[in-house]
Amino acid sequence: MKGEGHTFSNALRKELWNDKHVKAAAYAIDHPLVGNPVLIVETDSGENPKKALSAAINRLKKRNKEFQDKFKKAKL
């Protein structure tokens, strides 16, 4: 995940755990200043890890959109 840090990596890791087919979700960054996160996703035989990752990203996008909408309404 080039260019990302702990914030996005941790949010994605936590969202992956909401998938019933995900058996392991973690990330590692070799060095906080120059390293890129490496994501580890393990699923059971019911789902492809790439599909689980894509679904988690879509759920995060939806939650972010909902937050933005609520924030805009609160500012008025």
Among the listed residues 57, 5, 56, the one whose alpha carbon sits nearest the alpha carbon of residue 29? 5
Exposure letters 8-24 (e unless 16+ CB within 10 A, then b): ebeebbebbeebebbee
pLDDT averaged over the chain?
Answer: 91
Instruction: List the domains of the chain with CATH numbers.
Output: 6-75 (3.30.1360.10)
Compute the distance between CA of residue 75 and CA of residue 68 in angstroms, rounded to an integer.
11
pLDDT digit string (tens) for 48-72? 999 999 999 999 999 999 999 999 9
Could you tell me what percent of the chain has a pLDDT over 90?
Answer: 70
pLDDT of residue 76: 64
pLDDT of residue 61: 96
Residue 10 has pLDDT above 70, yes or no: yes
Average pLDDT over residues 18-32: 91
